[in-house]
Structure 1
Amino acid sequence: MYKKLSIIIPVFNEESTIEILLQKIADTNLIGEIRKELVIVNDGSTDLSNQKIEFFISKHTNLDFWYIKNKTNKGKGNAIRYGLKIATGDLILIQDADLEYNPSDYNVMLEPILSGEANVVYGSRFLNMNLYKKSYWGHKIINKGITTFSNWLSGLSLTDIQTCYKLMDANLLKSIDLCENRFSFDHELTAKLSKNKFIKVNEVAISYEGRSYKEKKIGWFDALAAIYAIIRYNKFMKSEKTGMDISSPVFNLEVNKLAV
């Protein structure tokens, strides 16, 4: 029985959105009587993100927080790996700080986990396009291409490998040796998950409100790095040991898509 969800939030120069996001998380009541733990990793922000985070924490003493501050920017993947070291929940979810993803989708993602259908859930922006706001055709085409390439090598059938929203069993995630520091973390994680035959992945439809290209921190270099990471981790890396109980019928390599 899962009791606590650790929400890892990498932050880099998000002074305009971080307080709003944290309030949305605070206002979200989770199903199954699951408690929330916020693991905020300030990844070398040079704006007012730090002050706004500290102010929010000081006003919400009823919430469980971990707050880590990197002196320099080390990348999203590095921030997530740091957060994993201190997260105490038995479930872990990754949350961007830019308001593109809405915490109101937490419960949709939790349902397959709590029902025993899965131990890994990806939130897909493309399963229900009615939930996709501010659509940019270039972004969708690139994502589609990268996801298709990843599926070809991994054997999965995901629709959105680059989604921020990834939820999974904490013991499972912490058992995987992760090393990517930037956005290729997504591709490393997916590749290493796919190599474990005891994993069942569900995909659920989530809402998405994308920022403009100018506002995004991911660029063409990251797209090339993604392709390299997909090849590297799918073709040249050995399977990971998870230490999970393989006797359960839940642990089979499979991707389910749940549209809402």
Structure 2
Amino acid sequence: MAPTVPARKLSIIIPAYNEGATIHLILDQIKQVQLLGGFTKEVLIVNDCSRDNTEEAVQRYVASNPELAIQYYKHDVNQGKGAALHTGIRKATGDYIIIQDADLEYDPEEYNVLLRPVLRGVADVVYGSRFIGGKPHRILFFWHSIGNHWLTMLSNAFSNLNLTDMETCYKLFRRDIVQGLQLEEKRFGFEPEVTIKMARVPNVRIYEVGISYYGRTYAEGKKIGWRDGFRAIYCILKYGLFA
């Protein structure tokens, strides 16, 4: 008889701030995903002190969907997306961790796209790029696109990577590696910080795959702004030059 191979687990971290209107929809999508390679799912929702009904929406969902393994955490004070990710990363128990925003901009069906390099045994970290692969991409803000490309290029210059989308939400990490990083940024500076620090891990294997993107306008709830762009520049210089 062949030996039983232990099931591997994917921890899905959802930082949530005022996402009561959509969080049940993204959880429905996650529930429906059939992961490749025998991976099971662990969902960690971190409510960053939302001012809407996010907590009530999560509690209703947990009560009516016991088949989806959901852990719920709440910050008593709003600290930022990065701080919510710190909590989720610290609490995760899966073999791999992926970040999922609570809105509907990214499609959980594409978890398997990011898992494929892992399943082939060639990757420790996989980034999902919105700018390669010919996937659907909602047309929105020109200057956001220019800023994203510029930040990615600047990050690449200090990390010596050749990413096309450093700011993407979909980042998949081997859990032991990302838990070993000393992460500091509590807002959107998380993206350049984790990228630069991950690039310095000895022998780490980083891949990038194309994903789709269904972006939101500010009227639809988008939160990142120009101040976050300047913070990203600061973080790239801070962790690229002085860390």
Asked whether 1:165 is paired with 2:185, we answer no
Matching residue of 1:243: none
Structure 2: where are the runs of 5+ without partners? 1-5
Matching residue of 2:136: 131
- What is the one-letter code of the residue matched to 2:206? V
TM-score by length of 2: 0.94
Task: For residue 57 of structure 1, give the secondary structure of its aligned residue in structure 2.
Answer: helix
Cα distance in 1, alignment partners of residues 97 and 159 from structure 2 = 23
Deviation at 1:129, TM superposition (A): 4.5
CA contact (8 A) 2:48 2:79 kept: yes
Asked whether 1:9 is paired with 2:9, we answer no
Matching residue of 2:104: 99
User: After alignment, is 69-78 or 213-222 more displaced?
Assistant: 213-222
Deviation at 1:193, TM superposition (A): 0.9
Give the alignment partner of residue 67 of structure 1, picking from 69, 72, 97: 72
1:110-121 → structure 2 map (5 Å cutoff): 110-121=115-126
Cα distance in 2, alignment partners of residues 112 and 129 from structure 1 = 18
Deviation at 1:2, TM superposition (A): 6.4
CA contact (8 A) 2:110 2:211 kept: yes
Cα distance in 1, alignment partners of residues 139 and 94 from structure 2 = 33
Give the alignment partner of residue 26 of structure 1, picking from 25, 31, 53: 31
- How many corresponding residue pairs? 237
Structure 1: where are the runs of 5+ without partners? 238-260
Task: For residue 140 of structure 1, give the secondary structure of its aligned residue in structure 2.
Answer: helix
1:74-223 → structure 2 map (5 Å cutoff): 74-214=79-219, 215-223=221-229
Task: For residue 121 of structure 1, give the secondary structure of its aligned residue in structure 2.
Answer: strand
Matching residue of 2:3: none
Cα distance in 2, alignment partners of residues 205 and 33 from structure 1 = 23
Deviation above 4 Å: which 4+ runs of structure 1?
Answer: none
Cα distance in 1, alignment partners of residues 7 and 95 from structure 2 = 6
TM-score by length of 1: 0.88
CA contact (8 A) 1:40 1:83 kept: yes
CA contact (8 A) 2:127 2:168 kept: yes
Identity %: 44
Cα distance in 1, alignment partners of residues 160 and 91 from structure 2 = 32
